[in-house]
Structure 1
Amino acid sequence: MSSSSSEYAIPNLKNIDKWREIEQSFPPLKNDLLLRAARGEETERAPVWVMRQAGRYLPEFLEVRKSHSFFECCQTPSLASKLTLQPIDRYPRLDASIIFCDILVVPQALGMEVLMEPSKGPVLPAPLRSPSDLERLNKDVDVEKELGYLFEAITLTRKGLAGRVPLIGFCGAPWTLMAYMCEGGGSKTFENSKSWLYKYPKESKELLRKVADVCADLLVGQVLAGAQMLQVFDSWAGELTPHQYAEFALPPCIYISHKVKSILKQLGHPGVAITLFAKGANAPSTFRLLSNPETTGYDTLGLDWTVDPLEVREWVGPKVNLQGNFDPTVLYGGKEGIEREVERLSERWKKAGGGWIANLGHGITPNVKPEDMGWFLECVHKYSKRD
Structure 2
Amino acid sequence: MSLIKFPELKNDLILRVLRGEKTERAPVWCMRQAGRYLPEFRAIRVENEFFKVCRNPELAAEVTIQPIRRYSGLLDASIIFCDILVIPQAMGMEVLMVPGKGPHFPAPLVVPEDMKKLVDREDNYSVHEELDYVYKAITLTRTRLDGEVPLFGFIGAPWTLMAYMIEGGGSKTFSKAKTWLWKYPEAAHELLDRITKVSVEFLKGQAAAGAQMLQVFDSWAGELAPADYFEFEMPYLLRIAEEVRKAYPDIPIVVFPKGVHPETVEYIVLNSEYAAVSLDWTLNPESLVKDLKARAEAIGKPIIFQGNLDPTVLFASKETIRTKTKEMCNKFTGCGHVCNLGHGMMPDHSPEHLGWFLEAVHEFSSKHQ
Q: Distance in 2 between matches of 1:126 and 1:280?
A: 28
Show the counterpart of 1:331: 314
Q: Distance in 2 between matches of 1:70 and 1:85?
A: 17
Q: Distance in 2 between matches of 1:100 and 1:235?
A: 17
Q: Distance in 1 between matches of 2:189 and 2:59?
A: 36
Q: 1:384 to 1:111 in 2, by over 3 A?
A: same
- Helix, strand or coil at the partner of 1:384: helix
Q: Distance in 1 between matches of 2:317 and 2:24?
A: 27
Show the counterpart of 2:11: 31
Show the counterpart of 2:275: 299
Q: Distance in 1 between matches of 2:67 and 2:251?
A: 23
The alpha carbon displacement at 1:354 in A equals 1.9
Show the counterpart of 2:178: 194
The alpha carbon displacement at 1:174 in A equals 0.3
Q: Distance in 1 between matches of 2:60 and 2:29?
A: 18
1:117 aligns with 2:98: yes
Q: Distance in 1 between matches of 2:9 and 2:120?
A: 40
Normalising by structure 2, report the TM-score. Answer: 0.95
Q: Distance in 2 between matches of 1:42 and 1:312?
A: 19
Q: Distance in 1 between matches of 2:353 and 2:186?
A: 48
1:256 aligns with 2:240: yes
1:98-155 deviations in Å (ceiling 9; x for gaps) = 0000000000000000000002100001111111111010022412211000000000
Show the counterpart of 2:226: 242
- Helix, strand or coil at the partner of 1:135: helix
**Amino acid corresponding to residue 284 of structure 1 in structure 2:** P
Normalising by structure 1, report the TM-score. Answer: 0.90
2:254 equivalent among 271, 275, 288: 275
- Helix, strand or coil at the partner of 2:15: helix
The answer on whether the counterparts of 1:303 and 1:325 sit within 8 Å (CA) in structure 2 is yes
1:60 aligns with 2:36: no
Q: Distance in 2 between matches of 1:181 and 1:142?
A: 20
Q: Distance in 1 between matches of 2:330 and 2:127?
A: 43
The alpha carbon displacement at 1:291 in A equals 2.4
Q: 1:191 to 1:291 in 2, by over 3 A?
A: same
**Amino acid corresponding to residue 213 of structure 1 in structure 2:** K
Q: Distance in 2 between matches of 1:239 and 1:132?
A: 25
Show the counterpart of 2:305: 322
- Helix, strand or coil at the partner of 1:377: helix
Q: How many residues align?
A: 357
1:300-355 deviations in Å (ceiling 9; x for gaps) = 000000011101213443433100000000100110110110111211112xx121
1:91 aligns with 2:71: yes
The answer on whether the counterparts of 1:41 and 1:354 sit within 8 Å (CA) in structure 2 is no
Q: Which runs of 4+ in 1 moved over 4 A?
A: none
Residue segments in structure 1 that go unaligned for 5+ positions in a row? 1-17, 265-269
1:176 aligns with 2:160: yes
> Percent sequence identity over matched residues?
53
Show the counterpart of 2:330: 347
Q: Distance in 2 between matches of 1:48 and 1:284?
A: 23
Q: Distance in 1 between matches of 2:263 and 2:289?
A: 13
The alpha carbon displacement at 1:203 in A equals 1.1
The answer on whether the counterparts of 2:61 and 2:140 sit within 8 Å (CA) in structure 1 is yes
Q: Distance in 2 between matches of 1:185 and 1:316?
A: 36
1:386 aligns with 2:363: no
The alpha carbon displacement at 1:297 in A equals 1.2
The answer on whether the counterparts of 1:151 and 1:225 sit within 8 Å (CA) in structure 2 is yes
How large is the Cα RMSD of the aligned pairs?
1.2
The answer on whether the counterparts of 2:96 and 2:103 sit within 8 Å (CA) in structure 1 is yes
The answer on whether the counterparts of 1:284 and 1:315 sit within 8 Å (CA) in structure 2 is no
1:362 aligns with 2:333: no
Q: Distance in 1 between matches of 2:205 and 2:326?
A: 39
Q: Distance in 2 between matches of 1:378 and 1:288?
A: 30
Q: Distance in 2 between matches of 1:142 and 1:244?
A: 32
Q: Distance in 2 between matches of 1:348 and 1:145?
A: 44
Q: Distance in 1 between matches of 2:168 and 2:291?
A: 35
Show the counterpart of 1:11: none
